Amino acid sequence: MSRSGDLADLIRDEAGPAPVRLGLILGSGLGHLAGAVEGVSIPYHRLPGFPHAGVSGHNPQLVIGTLEGQRVAVFGGRSHYYEQGRADAMRLPLEVLRDLGADRVIATNAAGSMRPDIGPGSIMLLSDHINFSGLNPLIGEPTDARFVPMGAAYDPQMRQDLAAAAAAEGIAMPQGVYAWYSGPSFETPAEIRAIRTLGADAVGMSTVPEVILARFLGLRAAAISTITNMAAGLSDEAISHEHTKAMAPIGAAKLERVLRGYLRAA
Ligand code: HPA
């Protein structure tokens, strides 16, 4: 049995055998969403190989349960490249998600905006990404499966359904391009001007490696940013992790309504 298969068995022993339909990865300041799910919570430290998720504002637990009638797996924290220098840090959790039966994953994150019309407190549905880091979680993967097509990485049907859920809730959720910057330092104003010129609408330190891994594993993927700040140089407000954590819950309330609506309709 594979490592992910063993973990999936362990999780099924605790949470029951019913297959999971969808995974949800919670970003900085969004961890409380795990509390919306009725189910079984397993701390990451009981799942060997799961990330330590040592970033404050994350809640490192896996919750398997029901949200709006759908069986989901909620990852209360993620590992970022900047923690250990590993772009594939979320590979095992995503393999486990696949082994639990899911065919879909939605990643969420906190991000800075480069769009004056998408201000702090907004949520943005990712239409595409720019991998500004130059890193890739599949470097070292020995099989030909590593040549993953990324032409429609952000699943068009999921985007349509999520957009419909937002519209039904009366929540503005513009779509935009997310640029992955490795962090952990924030970007400089010159870097933000550069990635804006390249076509990005928002910037953050996560999600892109997870979406690459999800596509590699055959999972359909979507992602939503909660905008916590204008990116460096675009506003007078100081950028900090404290500010990110304080602002994320504003977008998180909208995010929760969109996700609930999406699951209700699924
Ligand atoms: N840059 C990168 N990551 C972020 C930001 C930002 O401005 N805000 C929240 N996460």
Under CATH, which architecture does the 3-265 domain have?
3-Layer(aba) Sandwich (3.40)
Q: Which of 130, 178, 186 to mutate to test the pocket of ligand 1 (most atoms within 8 A of CB)?
A: 186
In the chain, the percentage of residues whose pLDDT exceeds 90 is 81
DSSP string, 40-103: EEEEGGGSTTS----STT---EEEEEEETTEEEEEES----HHHHT-TTTTHHHHHHHHHTT--
Give the tens place of pLDDT for each residue, 142-160: 999 999 999 999 999 999 9
Question: Ligand 1 center to residue 38 CA distance, Å?
Answer: 31
> Is 182 within 8 Å of 135 (Cβ atoms)?
yes
The answer on pLDDT for 51 being more than 80 is: yes
Q: Does any ligand 1 atom lie closer than 6 A to the CB of residue 187?
A: yes
Work out the pLDDT band at 250, boundaries 50, 70, 90.
confident
* Average predicted confidence (pLDDT) for the chain: 93
Work out the pLDDT band at 91, boundaries 50, 70, 90.
very high
DSSP string, 191-250: HHHHHHHTT-SEEESSSHHHHHHHHHTT-EEEEEEEEEEEPTTSSSSPP-HHHHHHHHHH
In the beta sheet, which residues pair with residue 123? 226
Q: Does any ligand 1 atom lie closer than 6 A to the CB of residue 24?
A: no
> Is 19 within 8 Å of 103 (Cβ atoms)?
no
